Structure 1
Amino acid sequence: MEFQYYLPVNLVFGRGKADVIGERAAALGTRALIVTGGSSTRKSGLLDRAIKQLENHGVSYVLFDKAEPNPLTTTVWKGAETARREGCDFILSIGGGSSLDTGKGIAFLAVNEGDISDYIYGKKKSDKALPVLAVPTTCGTGSEGNGFAVMTNPDTLDKKSLRCSAIVPACSIVDPQLMMTMPGNILASVGFDALCHNIDAYLSATSQPLTELMALEGVRLAAESLVSLYEGSKDLNHWDQLSLASTLGGMVINTAGVTALHGMEHPVSGLKDAVHGRGLAALAPYVFEASIKGAPHKFSALSRLLGGKGEWDFTDQIRSLITRLGLTEGLKDMGVEESDLNWLTENCFKVSAPSMANHPVVFTPEEVKEIYRKSL
């Protein structure tokens, strides 16, 4: 048995931990670029709460509230320009995964020259970025626990992640109570994403003992909490569970990567600006149905965690979960047409080649196109 594991993430996890935002910020710098979306952190009061803490700890700030649901490379560039112009020495990202990814991209580009797409595709490399303090408000992407920042190039519609240890947050404050303001439809989508991160990492050809342990625990935690919360449970223990499942999912994909499910969804949300978790749900039954033969023992373990009995009923469990979460749209409901399938297939192998290669069954372009067709 041989493996290497390295993930320098500092997690501050627990109910009420949002009260230490100011303290942790002051340890990172004196002037923050606050990166968030346009409304949710304002409506919840978290933005004002964070600003007050910064002021109480002598930290000045500039607000950049332009993070969109599928972050654009152009938005990251604008944020980096703002950070440089305003002399910001660290990033405070508050919000969902898109806000965290935008902030991590800004942290990187603020201290590196050139087009961020060159770094995303490995044409250029750098190991430096501004420090990031991440405060997630959705339990989905796990961006607080890894060195990934997913963004879309609006010129090419390529949706791909910048991967760099320098953008692993210097500190991530994961407060499950911050998740409780999410509407049910958002909760369903991000929670399903968290589950799929853990499933993808467990199935990955580059998985290893530590990621497999964490991924299986992430699946268990999500399976025990997500539907209950979606159906209206107020149990704080369930919020703890789903928040931890999300963070574990982010951590395991940092090391083991994602596989074909995420690899095939990214072109969909890149092309159609679809909600990522809903795109995953449209694809998941068909991707997994064609994959069980590649790792039956792993699908058996996953099925049991979801309430099934073995690998043969794993897709039944996934379909049941998708139905209970109200995630039953097909890709066609997201704007995908038959005429888009060639582009999606080609883009999948362009932006997601490593993910496709890590999958238990390495699909041909023809097989990928057929899965897209079934998912319509």
Structure 2
Amino acid sequence: MWSFHIPTVVHFGREVVKKRADFVDYGSKAFIVTGRRSARASGALYDITKVLIGQNIVFTVFDEVEENPSFRTIEKGTDLLRAENCDFVIGIGGGSPIDAAKAIAILGANPEMGVEELYSGEIAYSLPLIAIPTTSGTGSEVTQYSVLTDNDGNKRGFSNAHAFPLLSFLDPRYTLTMPKNLTVSTALDALSHSVEGELINNGNNPMIKDFSIKATSLIREYLPRIVAEPENLFYREKLQYASMLAGIVIAHTGTTVVHAAGYPLSSKKGIRHGIANAVFLVDIFSHVSENSKDQVLKAIEPFESLNELSNFLNEFGVNNISISIEEKEISEWAEKAANAPHNIRTPGNRDRSFYEKLYSKLKEMEK
């Protein structure tokens, strides 16, 4: 028995905003949430504002979202939305601006709520939310997840049905301005979503299995091609489609301890999220494989072995990162990872010592 549900209406294709965007039924004043660069550089912000002006909809731009958006940024954005009396939200950018837009849309509809209450699960309303991704990685445009960074510098994700965007517009042209390192890290994030989600799904939902193998296949085939030909729009289109499929996968399954292990690297050490996942992916899947070998092999299809997957990741320098880690940090990170809810979803058992060994292995790379 299985089920499938994605409430987001997806419009996909070149110049899709120009051809399909109609916002008049969503409100009279838009609150646009972006970072400082990608929305403008990609042309997405121009396209959106042109459509809004053409439909006589006023808008306010909040362009202060950083990578790994902080609680303070969410609070600042929410205060501005409320002051400007905006009634719907448009998130433009990578996963960080779209995740921030989700939080701001919910808080904007619930004036009594603070950021911390996003994690209570007791959310009844959200302002209408529209997502326009400019990267191919997080799949946030089709998920109910938002990952924020709390006031102690820890990444924390919340999940709520009201965080699903109502509409998403995917135009591969917006991903052409991604530099190589961002193209690689976001694609590896999508790959991680695809194989992690299928590890959890284990074939039980045939649609999720099909989406996973398709997403993994596309990334395996087209990521190396994009690195060689970064301006090839056809390749970019394939990678964006893969990212969306992988997002649909984790919308139904969640992620594994690969994500839990990787969070400190991005929130504390500035390693991009996709790379932080990829660093641990093979080691964690190898551990799972000790008792669930067939499950792992099916999850990583069409890769035929973890060795092949490892070689693919190494093509993009995953094992070449160098960061300084203190013993105290290893202990603190291991404690948090061992208590993360991702452990429940991930096959097998892991204790604190497992994560200490995982982080200690990474520390050895300093030498």
Give yes or no for the alignment of 1:247 onto 2:210: no
CA deviation vs aligned residue, 1:287-312 (integer Å, no higher than 9, x gap)? 22212224322332355513x3xxxx
Aligned counterpart, 2:360:
373
1:14-25 equivalence runs, <5 A: 14-20=13-19, 23-25=21-23
Aligned mates of 2:241, 2:256 — CA distance in 1: 21
SS in 2 for 1:141: coil
Aligned mates of 1:286, 1:148 — CA distance in 2: 25
Misfit runs of 4+, over 6 Å: none
Give yes or no for the alignment of 1:64 onto 2:53: no
Amino acid at match of 1:359: T
SS in 1 for 2:298: helix
Superposed CA RMSD in Å reads: 1.9
Report the identity percentage.
28
Aligned counterpart, 1:3:
2
Give yes or no for the alignment of 1:292 onto 2:289: yes
1:176-215 equivalence runs, <5 A: 176-204=172-200, 208-215=205-212
Aligned mates of 2:2, 2:294 — CA distance in 1: 21
CA contact (8 A) 2:7 2:164 kept: yes
- The 1:190–1:50 alpha-carbon spacing in structure 2 relative to 1, beyond 3 Å, is same
Aligned mates of 1:334, 1:17 — CA distance in 2: 41
1:66-85 equivalence runs, <5 A: 66-85=64-83
Farther off after superposition, 86-95 or 259-268:
259-268
Query: Which of 319, 330, 353 is equivalent to 1:341?
Result: 330
SS in 1 for 2:132: strand
**How far has the Cα of 1:205 moved from its partner?**
5.6
Aligned mates of 1:365, 1:270 — CA distance in 2: 20
Farther off after superposition, 31-40 or 336-345:
336-345
**How far has the Cα of 1:24 moved from its partner?**
2.8
CA contact (8 A) 2:38 2:134 kept: no
Aligned mates of 1:373, 1:252 — CA distance in 2: 31
**When the two structures are superposed, what TM-score results if normalisation uses the length of structure 2?**
0.92
- The 1:10–1:292 alpha-carbon spacing in structure 2 relative to 1, beyond 3 Å, is same
Query: Which of 254, 258, 279 is equivalent to 2:255?
Result: 258
CA deviation vs aligned residue, 1:60-116 (integer Å, no higher than 9, x gap)? 000100111111122111111111111111111111111110111110111222332
Structure 1 residue runs of 5 or longer lacking an equivalent are: none
Give yes or no for the alignment of 1:106 onto 2:95: no
Aligned mates of 2:317, 2:17 — CA distance in 1: 31
1:1-376 equivalence runs, <5 A: 2-20=1-19, 23-112=21-110, 113-120=112-119, 122=120, 125-155=122-152, 157-204=153-200, 208-232=205-229, 234-306=231-303, 308=304, 313-314=305-306, 316-330=307-321, 333-350=322-339, 352-353=340-341, 355-376=342-363
